[in-house]
Amino acid sequence: MLRSSKRNKKEKNTLHETLQKHDYQFIQDLRSVPIFMELSENKAYLSDLFKDCSDFVIREFQLEHSSNAIMFFVDGMVDTELANDTMKSLMTLEDGEPLLDEIVQRNLPVSQTQKTDNYSDLLISVLGGDVGLIVHNNNQAVLLGIRGMQTRSISEPETESVIRGPREGFVENIRTNTSMLRRKLKTPHLKMKNLTIGRESNTCVVVTYLENLADPGIVQEVLRRLEKIDIDAVLESGYLEEFIQDSSYSPFPQVQYTERPDTVAAALLQGRVGIVVDGTPFVLIVPFVFTEILQASEDYYERFQIATLIRWLRYLFLVLSLLTPGLYVAITTFHQDLLPTSLLLSVAAAREAIPFPAVVEALIMEVTFEGLREAGIRLPKTIGSAVSILGALVVGQAAVQAGIVSAPMVIVVSMTGIASFTIPRFNGAIAIRMLRFPIIFAAAVFGMFGILICILIILGHLANLRSFGIPYLSPIGPLSAADLKDVVIRNPWWAMRERPEYMPLQDIVRQGDALSTEIIMQEGQKGMSIQHQEKEEEGDTES
């Protein structure tokens, strides 16, 4: 099945003798190679390593007093102007044979510098966009953080758009992303642990959490699971998700992903742990529980009454999107006595000319619908409208008129479609989408009994799932009654005194008691006692 493919042990290439000198498989193997004292040796070594790499720049220059140095970087990743300024300040350096420490302290107008003594760390940083500087007669290199690569600017997240709420979404650059988090939570409690995963990609991964809230056990577990990953490249956070989740074969997601910094910040404030991966705008959040599939960030920004009602709607539609086709099949082929007579007769009349049994009909429509949806996602936007026209015509109109599917089936499929679109978390919707098909089969073979069996199996599976040790169905099972304030309803903020109980937290209190008690006592902050300014002249006197 999905067993990880064995890594090909590369046949040792003996064609080039030069390669013998730096025989390495991954860049991490260069940890044992020190920076040479002799500059020319370093230069030769680098140019050998980066042979045929046209984007790698090595610039040799002289300090004022004959001491030589090289600067090297990847073209396009560095702010050239800053690099020039740095070089300028180095070239005018006066003392003879300066120590590297002195140079760093006095002559490098760069805010981020770092020293290293081996080629592994050096190259990882340089390939990540830093500028490397080696001065003759020093067995250390300096890394200058003057990155200036082109990145996508911050824009509204397309997969999680809101009507009310911040419009910024993560981008591909990890430092932009972490800065967006830091801007939300301006506290030193917000920790960002660095990891490098991927032997070829050397992807920067940041594990972020609130030190004063998050359970150290969970943080340790996240770090432990991430550190064990040994793969050539991490191109998207989805790679990591599949490695770190608790149950690999479950259709249900045990890791949340989001494009929204506010969602991550809210999760961190509940003691969860965020995993930011360089090169993708999708940040992972663990642990993840089932009820969060049905919670959107906007629930917390919009008025609580509508948020509560919409949640109920989502619960209803979750069930509908899972069961409607199955129920249709079961009722029309096994339990005809369940329908009111007039409805049954309408269904019978609509089905009169249909050549297929109800199961086949349901499968045809469901598969067509899934196909349409898939086609719509992949296509460029300009062709997308063509797909929707085709879909509306084929699925809606023509199929019914041609007598291939019945009109009630079209309603069932569109109901399911709409219902599955109401689930805010896409990965949760996917699970429901997939499980619909076994339910249709079970309904076709066993009727309502089959549907019930399927529901029981799904519930059993959900109850068995855990995400980083947290039961997947919490706070419903095991029940923690206090947390239902954010599941059954969405409590107004002044009533959300405590953080979720099901999360192992160091500090459960979310807000001070005084105001919340006041609001509860008098149903809001009453403005009766405000001394309004007397109206003296015409015009606005409103204070």
Q: Which residues bind another protein (CB under 8 A)?
A: 332-334, 336-337, 341-342, 344-354, 357-358, 407, 444-445, 447
Report the SS3 class of residue 502: coil
Smallest separation, CB 394 to another protein (Å):
18
Between 33 and 358, CB nearer to another protein: 358
Closest Cα to residue 278, out of 176, 348, 144, 156? 176
Smallest separation, CB 446 to another protein (Å):
8
Smallest separation, CB 345 to another protein (Å):
6
Neighbours of 269 (CB within 10 A): 15
User: Is residue 31 within 8 Å of residue 118, measured between CB atoms?
Assistant: yes
Structure tokens at 141: 């290199």
User: Is residue 332 within 8 Å of residue 344, measured between CB atoms?
Assistant: no
Return the amino acid letter for 54.
S
Between 108 and 339, CB nearer to another protein: 339
Structure tokens at 498: 């405590």
Smallest separation, CB 469 to another protein (Å):
25
Between 334 and 468, CB nearer to another protein: 334
Q: Kind and range of the H or E element at 56?
A: strand 56-62
Between 407 and 488, CB nearer to another protein: 407
User: Is residue 486 within 8 Å of residue 499, measured between CB atoms?
Assistant: no
Return the amino acid letter for 237.
S
Between 309 and 456, CB nearer to another protein: 456
Rounded to whole angstroms, the Cα distance separating 136 from 141 reads 10
Burial of 507 (0-12, 13-18, 19+ CB in 10 A): exposed
Smallest separation, CB 473 to another protein (Å):
25
Q: Kind and range of the H or E element at 240?
A: helix 237-244
Between 345 and 386, CB nearer to another protein: 345
Smallest separation, CB 338 to another protein (Å):
9
Smallest separation, CB 447 to another protein (Å):
7
Smallest separation, CB 407 to another protein (Å):
5
Smallest separation, CB 408 to another protein (Å):
8
Rounded to whole angstroms, the Cα distance separating 493 from 498 reads 10
Report the SS3 class of residue 164: coil
DSSP β-bridge partners for residue 256: 285
Rounded to whole angstroms, the Cα distance separating 391 from 397 reads 9
Rounded to whole angstroms, the Cα distance separating 288 from 286 reads 5
Between 337 and 536, CB nearer to another protein: 337
Between 158 and 337, CB nearer to another protein: 337
The stretches of 128-236 forming alpha helices (DSSP H) are 174-184, 216-227
Between 345 and 434, CB nearer to another protein: 345
